[in-house]
Structure 1
Amino acid sequence: MKYVTIILTCLGLSLLFTLNACDKDSNKAIEEEKELPAESPDNNNKDKVADYSDIESLPADTGGEQLAYLKGTTAASYGYYAYTPSAYHQGTEEYPLIISLHGAGKRGDGTDLDDLKKVLWLGPGNLIKKGEWNPTYPAIVVAPLTATNWDAKKVHAFIQYLMDTYRVNKQRIYLTGNSMGGFGTWNYIQEYGDQALVAAIIPICGKGNPDLAHQFTNIPVWAFHGIDDNTVDVYGSIDMVKAIKALEVDLTYTPKLTLYPGVGHDCWTMTYDGSGMGQGNPNFDAFDMSIYDWLFRYKKE
């Protein structure tokens, strides 16, 4: 009986090891299915040399102010928060502009302050609120609030409003967004292409339309996504970047894609605050520099 028990135990352990091996092989197959051909950490080898001459002389930002503008109190179609750097009101310089589009969970009409404050729960506005905003160059930062999906035409009009209202360096307008805001970021370029007012975009856990990849020929893109995202499938970013790279044209900028293994829908926190650096799947573009410094590499011609 003793020997029977030993034999059964061995058989059980053997079966367990076999099942574990199958699970690992299955997980590996799933992971490999989501991989693109290995690329260098920075594949933007066709990018022009970064020119910072127009922002190097801007006064250092020692801590500015982030103010709320309720919908209906300005000519903008959205309520929004706007951050201006510390020296903004003492000079005449023009500043880069970073616009952050929130996800579906933060929707609202922006007509009261408690509602509008939702946009400060994430993105650059959240870093400013926590006193953790320290990009290499000072910038105006704006976070609008919408009650519906982001509409490209309204976003375009809002950017024009900001250009008319603030001292914006019109060559240095940047757009980012997470989840629904990632959709909105992709969609803005899909709608306007070369006529878009922005110099570069960072869509996070969003989804683009590969049929409109031709609109991205001249726009720098760095997309981020969690591989285990069960809300917006990771292929929402993968397929879009693949479609841009597959265009039979000479791309001005090669799109970047960073994917986080074991990360679900909320990959925006680790992207916006930089804590995700070094955690990307090595078969895709490395997260090896501040996304804000990456944006500052680009100017609209």
Structure 2
Amino acid sequence: MAYSIIKKKSYLFFLTIQLLTNCSSSDGVIGINANDLVELNTISSGVQMAYPRGSTKSQYGFYAYVPSQYNIANTEKYPLLIHLHGGGARGDSSVNPNDLNSILFDGLPSLIHKNQWNPKHPMIVVSPQSPSIWNTENLHNFITFLIDNLKIDTQRIYMTGFSMGGKGCYDYVSSKGNKSYVAAIIPIAGWGDVSTGNQFTNIPVWAFHGDADRIISHDKSISMVNAINAENPTTKAKITIYSGIGHDSWSRTYDNTGKGSGNSAYDPFDISIYEWMYLYKKTDL
């Protein structure tokens, strides 16, 4: 199998440990009219659109963004980036469509909503919403649904997430290994199962965490990266640690303002994460 080199709102989340995630408020949150969101092919290029649960055949409600270059009439395909939210954005938009707005408070969908995201390489970005901890089989089926409905370059499917979503990234690969769709993952302020390092041998990983995180210790990211590297992966897993930063280590990562500020004892944040992921594509399809 070959791979080629290529944030205010507080809440309490309980899993195996107590998890508090800080979210920022977002101006002009998009209102949702489920009646206008029946078919996925209604998506407009350069726009991030809401699809409440039940408006499509997906088991998730989600926000989807396609780049301005995207044209449903042509054959060009684009990389896909799946963004997994943290515990505070959990909800079920089939019960209350406005639940989906919580996805816009933080992370990558927030940057897109505020027109503050402009990567070098155009990408489709899809941000699903889960009512509970991320389920790996549901995630896998969701990506299959997206592949069936959008013009996706299946060799360039990436995944990122923070807090609970960081765990979701790890869990997806831990469960699916080489059968997963992803070519690379970027888990932030997350944790994983250190007994599954051998599932990551062909999937590049770049983890981020703050060493002042009192919710999820940065040691959990370090342990997971060490477990992966102990299996001699094709591409060594990376970890960037921010000194003096708490649980929200994702904002500075997604908007690239954290570049150059990592602890020098760990891997430097010296390239946009979007450019880094583009270095890798899956060629075993």
Give TM-score, length-normalised by structure 2.
0.82
Match of 2:135 in 1: 151
Match of 2:108 in 1: 124
Match of 2:225 in 1: 241
User: Which structure has more helix as a fraction of its residues?
Assistant: 1
Match of 1:83 in 2: 65
Q: Quick one: which of 266, 270, 291 aligns to 2:248?
A: 266
Distance 2:107 2:185 in 1: 14
User: Which structure has more strand as a fraction of its residues?
Assistant: 2
Residues 1:224 and 2:208 are matched in the alignment? yes
Distance 1:49 1:172 in 2: 12
Q: Does the aligned pair in 1 maintain the 2:85–2:129 contact within 8 Å?
A: yes
**2:246 aligned counterpart, secondary structure:** coil
Distance 2:195 2:140 in 1: 21
Match of 1:67 in 2: 49
Q: Quick one: which of 118, 131, 144 aligns to 1:134?
A: 118
**2:215 aligned counterpart, secondary structure:** coil
Deviation at 1:233, TM superposition (A): 1.1
Deviation string for 1:102-128 (max 9, x for gaps)?
Answer: 000111012234210111112221111
Deviation string for 1:60-104 (max 9, x for gaps)?
Answer: xxx701111010110101000000111212532100000100000
**2:158 aligned counterpart, secondary structure:** strand
Distance 1:49 1:263 in 2: 31
Deviation string for 1:137-175 (max 9, x for gaps)?
Answer: 111000011110000010001011110010000000000
Match of 1:99 in 2: 82
Match of 1:197 in 2: 181
Distance 1:204 1:97 in 2: 18
Residues 1:174 and 2:158 are matched in the alignment? yes
**1:80 aligned counterpart, secondary structure:** strand
Distance 1:49 1:118 in 2: 36
Match of 2:280 in 1: 298
Aligned-residue sequence identity (percent) comes to: 48
Distance 1:202 1:174 in 2: 8
**1:88 aligned counterpart, secondary structure:** coil
Residues 1:255 and 2:237 are matched in the alignment? yes
Amino acid paired to 2:256: G
Distance 1:266 1:298 in 2: 26
Amino acid paired to 1:276: G
Match of 1:279 in 2: 261
Who wins on radius of gyration, i.e. which is larger? Answer: 1
Q: Does the aligned pair in 2 maintain the 1:106–1:119 contact within 8 Å?
A: yes
Deviation >3 Å, runs of 4+: none
Distance 2:142 2:261 in 1: 35
Distance 2:130 2:224 in 1: 25
Q: Does the aligned pair in 2 maintain the 1:110–1:146 contact within 8 Å?
A: no
| Structure 1, unaligned runs of 5 or more | 1-46, 51-62
Deviation at 1:209, TM superposition (A): 1.0
Deviation string for 1:19-43 (max 9, x for gaps)?
Answer: xxxxxxxxxxxxxxxxxxxxxxxxx
**1:230 aligned counterpart, secondary structure:** coil
Match of 2:36 in 1: none
**1:299 aligned counterpart, secondary structure:** strand
Distance 1:164 1:265 in 2: 36
**2:155 aligned counterpart, secondary structure:** strand
Total equivalences in the alignment? 241
Distance 2:137 2:114 in 1: 32
Q: Does the aligned pair in 2 maintain the 1:155–1:188 contact within 8 Å?
A: yes
